[in-house]
Amino acid sequence: MNFREPHGMMPASTNPDPGRGSHPWHRFVALGDSFTEGIGDPEPHSEGGLRGWADRVAEELSAGQPDFSYANLAIRGLLLQQILDQQIGPALALKPDLVALSGGGNDVVFRRSDPDRLAEKIDAGVELLSATGATVVLFAGPDWGATPVLGQIRGKVAILNENLHTVAARHDAVIVDLWCLRELTGPGMWDPDRLHFSPLGHHTIALAVLNALSVPHSLHPLEPKRLPARSWKEARGEDLVWAREYLVPWALRQLTQRSSEEGLTAKRPQPGPVFGLGRPPGPFLGDSAA
């Protein structure tokens, strides 16, 4: 894989200072909603009680680079415009050289928003971030085709994804294509609510991000335990329970915007050493049964 040279910086494989890590970034800021906050990946020793793909990426990026710092401004439940309005300004003030931006999922799933319009908003946000010289990471959404109800918005997700590829090309951004990451279609990759990723899912996404950045890392692909075979009746029964216990309450919270009224704040509003996460960088252990 060829390393993408961000805005004239040297490739990661070239390391003139052996005391530094094998990548050019020193300050990573993650923007977004529950996906970036790390919902579905609980970790009592991490700030906010969540780990998530962004924390996992930061752990790897910090290895061998003592001056590396990481901030996570993501807040669950936010719509795309709220992410752009509330997080881009603070992110720019932190002067990152690596930024991850994810948003629009809540708009598509719960508001049935126009994916073309969402892409225009993301394009404007990426333009602001990339103008600083920072490397920007974007995400094409996962395939919810096998999920009841959410499968109905599959076409809109696909349209938004195609637009995001265009946005990434326009601004020389890195895109992590979760739709093409077919491992994520497995049930073990998802939280029981089927709306957020499990620890294994977050681990898999972190690995994909690091690969997209062409950064050497210690993560390895893992597989969930096989699930026992179910009859059609059992599967439909589980779908009904899921809709009642997870989908409907989540949709109601989105429609009433309760999440924005609860005064939630970012779990890592200021950049700091990654060791503050409560666990040192290292291989992923123990979540393969998630």
Write out the two tokens for 140: 């094409």
Distance (Å, rounded) from C-alpha 272 to C-alpha 28? Answer: 10
Angle at 75 between CA 71 and CA 79, to 5 degrees: 125
Position 92 pLDDT exceeds 80 = yes
| DSSP H helices in the chain | 34-37, 52-62, 80-93, 105-111, 115-130, 154-170, 199-212, 232-242, 248-256, 258-261
**Whether domain 23-220+232-274 has CATH 3.40.50.1110:** yes
Position 77 pLDDT exceeds 70 = yes
| Arithmetic mean of pLDDT over the chain | 80
* Per-residue model confidence as pLDDT tens digits over 167-193: 999 999 999 999 999 999 888 898 888
Per-residue pLDDT at 222:
86
Position 279 pLDDT exceeds 80 = no
Per-residue pLDDT at 269:
85
* Per-residue model confidence as pLDDT tens digits over 21-74: 689 999 999 999 999 999 999 998 888 899 999 999 999 999 989 899 999 999
Backbone angles phi, psi at 172, to 5 degrees: 55, 40
Per-residue pLDDT at 261:
44
Q: State whether the Cα torsion 207-214-26-89 is positive or negative.
A: negative
CB 108 within 8 A of CB 119: no
Query: Largest Cα–Cα distance in the chain?
Result: 61
* The one-letter amino acid at 223: E
Return the SS3 of 83: helix
Write out the two tokens for 18: 């052996």
β-strand partners of 71: 29
More confident residue, 260 or 83: 83
* Stretch among 113-122, 158-167, 193-202 having the lowest mean pLDDT: 193-202
Rounded to a whole number of angstroms, the CA Rg of the chain reads 18
Read off the pLDDT of each residue in 98-105 and give the average, rounded to a whole number: 97
Per-residue pLDDT at 185:
87
For the chain, give every domain's residue range.
23-220+232-274
CB 195 within 8 A of CB 142: no
Per-residue pLDDT at 192:
84
- If 0-12 CB within 10 Å is exposed, 13-18 middle and 19+ buried, where does residue 232 land? exposed
CB contact burial 58-75 (16+ within 10 A = b; e otherwise): bbbbbbebeebbbbbbbb
Numbers of helices and strands, H then E, in the chain: 10, 6
Question: Which bin fits 133, alpha (ψ -120 to 50), beta or left (φ > 0)?
Answer: left
Position 201 pLDDT exceeds 90 = yes
Per-residue pLDDT at 41:
94
DSSP assignment string, 222-240: --PPPPPP--HHHHHHHHH
Closest among 128, 165, 167 to 29, alpha carbons compared: 128
Per-residue pLDDT at 22:
84
